[in-house]
Amino acid sequence: MKTEYLTLLSMANFTLSRNLENITNEESLNRIGENGNCINWLAGHILSVRDAVFSNFGMVKFLSEEECKRYERGSAPIDASENPVSFQKIKEGLATTYSRWTDIIKSKDEDFFDTPIPAEGLPLPIPEPTIGKLLFILAYHEGYHTGQIGLAQRAMGKEFSLKL
């Protein structure tokens, strides 16, 4: 499972990085639709969730607690006037946490993924929850928001940047 998970992380990171290319700080604050989130919020949300989950495995958080709160699920859409975390800092955080996380995973054995975890506090019901199941749900979560970033990029008139 370790090799498969590292492959999934690599693919997800590649797609996310490509979707964030050529987006300026100003563009990252453009909301899509009346109630839609901007790219800054979507990318910041991915980063804040990584911080919350990965800190349980010894990884140092990239964002402060206060910064993370702005990107929590259900928070109000970001407005440029409120001085959110800079898009550059978010992109640096995504690169840093990806590198740290892959290093942690590489250091673990296969049994790590089968380690049971408590069901309380999980984002959705998981039968017989394990670290591996949680990590695959996290990867799905990132893929979902990475897709939203790609759609937001297209709504801005940007070319689809995922060219191999």
> Of the candidates 86, 94, 124, 81, which has an alpha carbon nearest to the alpha carbon of residue 16?
94
> Of the candidates 75, 56, 49, which has an alpha carbon nearest to the alpha carbon of residue 142?
49
Do residues 132 and 109 touch, judged by C-beta distance below 8 A?
no
Q: What's the chain's average pLDDT?
A: 90
Average pLDDT of the residues in 111-119: 94
* Domain ranges across the chain: 2-155
Average pLDDT of the residues in 73-89: 87
CATH of domain 2-155: 1.20.120.450
Predicted local confidence at residue 95, as pLDDT: 97
Per-residue pLDDT of 24-48, as tens digits, reads 999 999 988 777 899 999 999 999 9
Residue 103 pLDDT exceeds 80: yes
Predicted local confidence at residue 18, as pLDDT: 92
Cα dihedral 127/131/132/136 (nearest 10): 80
Average pLDDT of the residues in 143-163: 85
Judge if pTM exceeds 0.75.
Answer: yes
